[in-house]
Amino acid sequence: MKLKWIGFTALGLVALLAAYLGVALLRLPSVEPLADSGMNLTIQVKDWKGNQHPFVVGPQNRYWTPSSGTPAEMQWAVVVAEDANFYQHEGIDVKAIKNAIKYDLEKKRFARGASTITQQVVKNLFLTREKTLTRKVEEIILAKRMEHRLTKGRILELYLNVVELGPMVYGIGHGAQCYFGKPASRLTPRECAFLAALLPGPQVAFNPYRHLSRVLKRSDMILGLLRDKGVLTGEEYRLALAEVPNISGMQKKVDQSVSARVQRFFQRAFRLFQ
């Protein structure tokens, strides 16, 4: 009798969970509009203080960079760095998930993720950052739908235009201007690798304002992967490796920040003596 009661309870819980997930899935947004290259979508992004800001994804964004204006080295840099199997999988990389689980078990903590570029586009455009079973199921289903409705080129275009690269710096168009003072179309292979090197964590682990040497070391690794992939020739690789990134745009922002802090300091000091 007790076993029968436990069985009915388990079945009831499964049914409730299935019903809950079913309702959640019915409310999922459509990915169809994303196929239109002229589409504009307003999402919310966070600054480094946690405040939300509206952000336009599409040609109405002044930093929008279409695939035609994106260097091949930039496109491949994020693929080799973030999702090596991007052109093989259909939204979910099962092998990467298995490797991530194995790595996390060895480290006894959640040390490595396994999100594909497609999944990251889904998270950036449609979902919250909460870590729940429902949200993960939604992410997987939307990623699969996106892969069936959009080309790989379109998915990569969206990714490159929404990815976070600094404090309120979203997309490679803004990143190119922020760090190098130029449009994304004029980025060199070294500069492409530099931007791709920020992606694991521009706010903390790969914050170029605090860990520039770490970012440069990772960009060296990405250049090596581009050479191995055949994107760069041996000579192009050597030239890129020897290039010192001209981060004049970033230095200007640092100088402005320091100048602003100094100015605020003297303003406060002046008020104290009034």
| Helix/strand/coil for 112 | coil
Kindly report the backbone phi and psi dihedral angles of residue 183, in degrees, each rounded to the nearest multiple of 5, phi listed first.
Answer: -70, 160
- What is the full per-residue pLDDT of the chain (274 aa) written as tens digits? 555 566 555 465 555 555 445 555 667 999 999 999 999 999 999 999 999 999 999 999 999 999 999 999 999 999 999 999 999 999 998 877 776 666 556 655 554 467 999 999 999 999 887 777 788 899 999 999 999 999 999 999 999 999 999 999 999 999 999 999 999 999 999 999 999 999 988 999 999 999 999 999 999 999 999 999 999 999 999 999 999 888 866 655 544 443 444 345 434 543 544 4
Name the H helices within 59-132.
72-82, 94-107, 117-125
Packing angle of the helix pair 212-229, 189-197 (nearest 10 deg): 120
What distance in Å separates the CA atoms of residue 111 and residue 123, rounded to the nearest whole number?
A: 19
| Of 77, 86, 62, 79, residue with least CA distance to 188 | 77
| Of 121, 109, 108, residue with least CA distance to 164 | 121
What distance in Å separates the CA atoms of residue 91 and residue 213, rounded to the nearest whole number?
A: 33
Q: Residue 84: how many CB atoms within 10 A of its CB? A: 15
Q: Quote the pTM value.
A: 0.81
